Chains A and B, each alone.
Chain A
Amino acid sequence: MTDIKMKVFRGEEGEGELVEYDVELDEGMVLLDCIHRIQHEKEPDLSCRWNCKAGKCGSCSAEINGKPSLMCMTRMSDIIEETPDNEIITVRPLKTFPHVKDLVSDVSWNYEMAKAVVPIKGPEEPDWEFSQFEAKRAQEFRMCIECFICQDTCHVLREYKKFDVFGGPRTLVRLANFET
């Protein structure tokens, strides 16, 4: 592979613009690698949230060509293939939440919602017996890595900003975990 051009949103509190960068590509790179390369070679103050770079923590969510995705799990070979020839790859922050800077949004509302859901207590007695089949039902809902992409794409939040009356899909998944 060769060098590639990509546009990254730069700015604070929603004010800003897409800035074009040339990035040198190595085999197998994911989009988060490109952002790190821009930081380490050109722009140290480029803001980006990330942790594990392995698709397990859900920190590096961004809108890549308009599609909310984890930057660490987006392979450049795939994104190049899906970007039309006459267009340049774009990377923007999650749009639904208040913008902080560059690729970082303020997702703290999700943590307020988490606080509103009071956890149920497990068994008082230890060594509770239940089957793997029963466990699986709850586990499915507990696999959520809280990347907040579902919240970002929910039109009730994204378009209508009903943050005061609706918790979004993430909160519903959390509640579904309690059903037996």
Chain B
Amino acid sequence: MSEYESHEYDVVVIGAGGAGLRAAIEAARSGSKTAIICKSLLGKAHTVMAEGGAAAALGNADDRDGWKVHFKDTMKGGKYLNNWRMAQIHAQESADRIRELEQWGAVFDRTPAGLINQRNFGGHTYPRLAHVADSTGLEIIRTLQEKGIHSGIDIFMEYTVSHLLQDEDGTCTGCVAYNRVDGAMHAYSAKSTILATGGITRCWSVCSGSWEYTGDGHALALNAGAELIDMEFVQFHPTGMVWPPSVRGILVTEGVRGEGGVLRNSEGKRFMFDNVPDMFKGDHAETEEEATEWVRQVVAGEKASVRRPPELLTRDVVAKAINKEVAEGRGSTHGGAYLDIANQRSAEEIIAKLPSMHHQFRELAGVDITKEPMEVGPTAHYVMGGVRVDAESQESTVNGLFAAGEVASGLHGANRLGGNSLSDLIVFGKRAGEYAAKRSSDIEQPALDTKQVEDAIETNLKPLKRESGENPGKVYDELRDMMQAKVGIIRTEADLQTAMTDLIDFRKRVGNTSSGSSMTYNSGWHQALDLQNMVDISTACTLAALTRTESRGGHTRDDFPVPDTGMWSHTTNVVWKDDAEIKIRQEELSQPPEELESLLDRSKKEA
């Protein structure tokens, strides 16, 4: 019999980034006995890396803004594949969630009038991102962390959840986790479980994600029989570092462009003027003079009366444009584009507004961004796809299992707007906590199913017992290289087909890794277990990408280069696991009611 420690909670939250902390705070506030289980130390989750800001229509920097404009921008940026109700809730509630953070001690940058300042970002009609220079995520996670540790929540740091537990009806009844420090196994009985595990971008070799981003929550949900949607939509952020090789992929905030930064190719041309898709025609400046005037107005704190620079198109558009410049031989020295802020703003302003970018380029690339341009290129940054949830409650298709933040899906459609992630976390984290607590208030504590727990533990211990398997790190590196090459920013049927075949082979290799036998902080062991999730999620993403025969948002098919105006313009891919096999089907997308439809700008439809 395996040894493990048992725990009982009303609500167990898996993950301690913005969504997990916000959910746990809400659950605890509702009177639930709440635990957070997180893979890393508290405050180190991926949210801490968020830079540019959190989108909320406070209207502080431009009073023409409001939730209706935010809703319209989110839907348009998502190429109308969003869950309209989530987009509505998000636009309506994000301002209150930001104000609440301030009441909990967050100190955002101020407008001249002393209110929370707001920054321009791609796809947002008005300056909308509440921010703290270029390290907004740090401020948000620290605020939530400080609130959380004084909310009576039990926190299990450096524990990884490996399995969800379910009763005979499939209802989620808790989870099994291992302590990364000493390898001890723990079983949790939970009336409600919330996934807040973040994303999957570690499946690509050029990515901006931390080590945690191995799709754990996505895979836990799949294995519990929950449905995932939109898994083909992966956001390649247009501006990651490209040089030197070891830092390739590290994020360069969109805030650089929001503060007036311009993109140029090797010929010195501002190529974004030539890359405006039909659906955004007329929305952006058409000359450098107009774009420069917009920056002048914004810097002066005036309400913009001219159109914004085309560098502030949505991320999918800018990433593909950079990719095209490089492919056609007009890339920067190391295969990217030049992002210049040095000639747009003073050195003093750059250091005040973008201090961590200044530091990052100086320390890691030997580049002074107040004097010279940065080299940037696309990096896997975010997955729009994830666990299918109810818009109001965030409950998944499995009873008792909730999801919030990046692991959940629906809000962003085919492409997420910058700044909508941090606001997503706090809006839907709160809702998940609230509804999970509500569900827990009138049900019995589930009994731990010993057999399920012991089976889970046995699976977890396998890599420690194999003596001659492969180094998990080697499989990990090769899987990421394969996904980068075959399921990257530009996809083809042929590449995706070979990726599916490769993934079958990777699954076998993952089942035969060996990490050494130590249970104490054994990084290889943890990686061997994470790899199982990475293969599942890579398969789900590839399968969905293969199915969608069009290009839209974060999914680009070289063999189907334009958006489909027919079936795919209103169809969602649904992925689930049936008897260890990942399956897919298509579903008609729900359309917004008339009062919301009238807010949209569908006349210039499609990307």
B571 interface hit (Cβ, 8 Å): no
What 0/1 pattern do residues 91 to 110 of A give for CB contact below 8 A with B?
00000000011101011100
Known contacts A28-B245, A107-B41; A54/B115 CB under 8 A: no
B418 interface hit (Cβ, 8 Å): no
B250 interface hit (Cβ, 8 Å): yes
Q: How far is the CA of A122 from the CA of B105 in the complex (A)?
A: 5
What 0/1 pattern do residues 457 to 485 of B give for CB contact below 8 A with A?
00000000000000111101100000000
User: Which of B110, B360, B363, B525 makes the CB contact (< 8 A) with A45?
Assistant: B525
Contacts of B522 in A (CB 8 A): 44-45, 47
Contacts of A102 in B (CB 8 A): 521
Known contacts A114-B146, A127-B115; A132/B102 CB under 8 A: no
Q: Is the CB of A29 within 8 A of B49?
A: no
A52 interface hit (Cβ, 8 Å): yes
Known contacts A55-B360, A142-B139; A44/B473 CB under 8 A: yes
Nearest-CB residue, chain A, relative to B107: A138
Contacts of B145 in A (CB 8 A): 114
B82 interface hit (Cβ, 8 Å): no
* Stretch binding the partner chain, chosen from A35-43, A81-89, A149-157, A160-168: A35-43
Known contacts A135-B108, A142-B107; A56/B363 CB under 8 A: no
B43 interface hit (Cβ, 8 Å): yes
Q: Is the CB of B523 within 8 A of A53?
A: no
Contacts of A51 in B (CB 8 A): 40, 44-46, 48, 210-212
Q: Is the CB of A26 within 8 A of B523?
A: no
A57 interface hit (Cβ, 8 Å): yes
Q: Is the CB of A53 within 8 A of B107?
A: no
Q: How far is the CA of A36 from the CA of B139 in the complex (A)?
A: 29
A73 interface hit (Cβ, 8 Å): yes
CB distance from B51 to the nearest CB of A (A): 8
Nearest-CB residue, chain B, relative to A146: B43
CB distance from A160 to the nearest CB of B (A): 25
B104 interface hit (Cβ, 8 Å): yes
Q: How far is the CA of A130 from the CA of B113 in the complex (A)?
A: 8
CB distance from B226 to the nearest CB of A (A): 27
Q: Is the CB of A39 within 8 A of B523?
A: yes
What 0/1 pattern do residues 96 to 121 of B give for CB contact below 8 A with A?
10011011111111100111110000
Known contacts A52-B48, A130-B114; A143/B135 CB under 8 A: yes
Q: Is the CB of B132 within 8 A of A139?
A: yes
Number of residues of chain B lying within 8 A (CB) of chain A: 74
B520 interface hit (Cβ, 8 Å): yes
Q: 8 Å CB contacts to A: which residues of B333-366?
A: 356, 359-360, 363-365
Q: How far is the CA of A128 from the CA of B111 in the complex (A)?
A: 12
Q: Is the CB of B102 within 8 A of A122?
A: yes
Q: 8 Å CB contacts to A: which residues of B482-525?
A: 514-516, 518, 520-525
Q: How far is the CA of A123 from the CA of B102 in the complex (A)?
A: 8
Q: Is the CB of B149 within 8 A of A114?
A: yes
CB distance from B336 to the nearest CB of A (A): 14
Q: How far is the CA of A50 from the CA of B142 in the complex (A)?
A: 18
Known contacts A26-B245, A28-B246, A45-B516; A56/B149 CB under 8 A: no
Q: Is the CB of A47 within 8 A of B132?
A: no
CB distance from B245 to the nearest CB of A (A): 6
Q: Is the CB of B109 within 8 A of A145?
A: no
Q: How far is the CA of A57 from the CA of B48 in the complex (A)?
A: 6
Contacts of A29 in B (CB 8 A): 244, 246
Q: Is the CB of B524 within 8 A of A39?
A: yes
Contacts of B524 in A (CB 8 A): 39, 43-46
Q: 8 Å CB contacts to A: which residues of B26-85?
A: 40-46, 48-49
What 0/1 pattern do residues 53 to 90 of A give for CB contact below 8 A with B?
11111110000000000000101000000000000000
Known contacts A30-B246, A75-B364, A131-B114; A139/B473 CB under 8 A: no
CB distance from B152 to the nearest CB of A (A): 11
Q: Taking each of A51, A75, A122, A132, which has the highest tally of chain B beta carbons within 10 Å of its own beta carbon? A: A51
Q: How far is the CA of A127 from the CA of B138 in the complex (A)?
A: 21
* Interface residue tally on A, bucketed by range: 35 or more
B247 interface hit (Cβ, 8 Å): yes
Q: Is the CB of A59 within 8 A of B114?
A: no
Nearest-CB residue, chain A, relative to B524: A44
Q: Is the CB of B157 within 8 A of A44?
A: no
B447 interface hit (Cβ, 8 Å): no
Contacts of B105 in A (CB 8 A): 119-122
CB distance from B59 to the nearest CB of A (A): 11
Q: Is the CB of B363 within 8 A of A39?
A: no
Q: Is the CB of B135 within 8 A of A56?
A: yes
Q: Is the CB of B110 within 8 A of A131?
A: yes
Contacts of B147 in A (CB 8 A): 119
Contacts of A143 in B (CB 8 A): 135, 138
CB distance from A179 to the nearest CB of B (A): 13
Q: 8 Å CB contacts to A: which residues of B522-547?
A: 522-525, 527-528
Q: 8 Å CB contacts to B: which residues of A9-30?
A: 12, 26-30
Q: 8 Å CB contacts to A: which residues of B213-256?
A: 243-247, 250-251
A124 interface hit (Cβ, 8 Å): yes
Q: How far is the CA of A55 from the CA of B48 in the complex (A)?
A: 11
Q: Is the CB of B521 within 8 A of A101?
A: yes
Q: How far is the CA of A124 from the CA of B104 in the complex (A)?
A: 9
Known contacts A44-B472, A58-B44; A50/B103 CB under 8 A: no
Q: Is the CB of B181 within 8 A of A73?
A: no
Nearest-CB residue, chain B, relative to A108: B157
Q: Is the CB of A122 within 8 A of B103?
A: yes
Contacts of B133 in A (CB 8 A): 139
Contacts of A119 in B (CB 8 A): 104-105, 146-147, 150
A6 interface hit (Cβ, 8 Å): no
Known contacts A44-B516, A126-B103; A28/B42 CB under 8 A: no
CB distance from B404 to the nearest CB of A (A): 20
CB distance from B365 to the nearest CB of A (A): 7
Nearest-CB residue, chain B, relative to A39: B473
Q: Is the CB of A44 within 8 A of B246?
A: no
Q: Is the CB of B40 within 8 A of A59?
A: yes
User: Which of A104, A129, A145 makes the CB contact (< 8 A) with B521?
Assistant: A104
Q: How far is the CA of A100 from the CA of B109 in the complex (A)?
A: 40
Q: How far is the CA of A39 from the CA of B472 in the complex (A)?
A: 9
CB distance from A60 to the nearest CB of B (A): 10
CB distance from A51 to the nearest CB of B (A): 4
CB distance from A4 to the nearest CB of B (A): 14
Contacts of A128 in B (CB 8 A): 102
Q: List 14 A-B contacts (CB under 8 A).
A: A30-B364, A44-B472, A44-B514, A47-B520, A47-B523, A51-B40, A111-B41, A111-B157, A114-B145, A127-B115, A135-B110, A142-B132, A145-B48, A145-B138
List 15 extra interface pairs beyond A53-B250, A55-B360, A142-B107, CB under 8 A: A41-B471, A47-B521, A51-B46, A54-B251, A57-B44, A108-B157, A111-B149, A114-B145, A119-B146, A121-B105, A127-B116, A129-B115, A135-B107, A139-B132, A146-B43
A interface residue numbers (CB < 8 A to B): 12, 26-30, 33, 36, 39-59, 73, 75, 100-102, 104, 106-108, 111, 114-115, 118-124, 126-132, 134-135, 138-139, 142-143, 145-146
